A and B are shown apart, each in its own frame.
Chain A
Amino acid sequence: AQSVTQPDIHITVSEGASLELRCNYSYGATPYLFWYVQSPGQGLQLLLKYFSGDTLVQGIKGFEAEFKRSQSSFNLRKPSVHWSDAAEYFCAVGSAGETSYDKVIFGPGTSLSVIP
């Protein structure tokens, strides 16, 4: 069965420091991969997505992610974190299911705190 793991439940970084959030997936074929961000009290917003092609994808708010098939990973990075980046981050994988519905499976999330 398809699954998504995010090994880090909570991460704290200093403002201006670099950030990497880890995501690993389990899926038999080439997955569709996503990162969403959830600010406190808000719904989820799509940061970036990978469908095919260049394995390094750029997203909004200065984020990027790299797909590594050999490691089944899709880690999210940002070179310099801002205080406004404090939020919950969800990795997700899109899978072609056995039914007519191609569903998205979300990881458990990583909570990011930013120290001024």
Chain B
Amino acid sequence: NAGVTQTPKFRILKIGQSMTLQCTQDMNHNYMYWYRQDPGMGLKLIYYSVGAGITDKGEVPNGYNVSRSTTEDFPLRLELAAPSQTSVYFCASSGTVYEQYFGPGTRLTVT
């Protein structure tokens, strides 16, 4: 099993551009999450999903959108990128809510 995979690993965006961060899991987990990690701030939840077709906002959803059309995939969309979205983004999944498995992350820079 590959676990949770994320693409791309690195990306540089210009202000105002848009992009999609991809996340796929092969563990048949119902729960999936997107976090951002900023230095000294821990992880902040952006969006989560409890199953295909069901998504909801986390702590810091502004500027992001998600969709969950399949159990495996949970892409994160950034519209009109801003410097404040420079961060490391982690996707995670879990079969139960608490035991989360993380992908390797995407390092995004907006300039």
* Residues of chain A at the chain B interface (Cβ within 8 Å): 4, 9, 32, 34, 36, 41-46, 49, 51, 90, 94, 99-104, 106-109
Question: Secondary structure of the A side of the interface?
Answer: strand
Best-buried of A32, A101, A109 by chain B (most CB within 10 Å): A101
B99, A49: Cβ atoms under 8 Å?
yes
- Residues of B within 8 Å of A103, CB to CB, are 45, 48, 58, 97
For the complex of A and B, the 8 pairs showing the least CB-CB separation, nearest first, are A43-B102, A106-B42, A106-B43, A44-B102, A94-B98, A108-B42, A102-B97, A43-B104
A101, B48: Cβ atoms under 8 Å?
yes
Q: How many residues of B contact A (CB 8 A)?
A: 22
- Residues of B within 8 Å of A94, CB to CB, are 97-98
Measured CB to CB, the closest approach of chain B to A96, in angstroms, equals: 9
CA distance A108 to B44 in the complex (A): 10
A101, B97: Cβ atoms under 8 Å?
yes
A-B contact pairs, 7 of them (CB 8 A): A43-B90, A43-B102, A44-B100, A94-B97, A100-B50, A101-B97, A108-B41
Contact with A along B67-110 (1 / 0, CB 8 A): 00000000000000000000000101000011111111100000
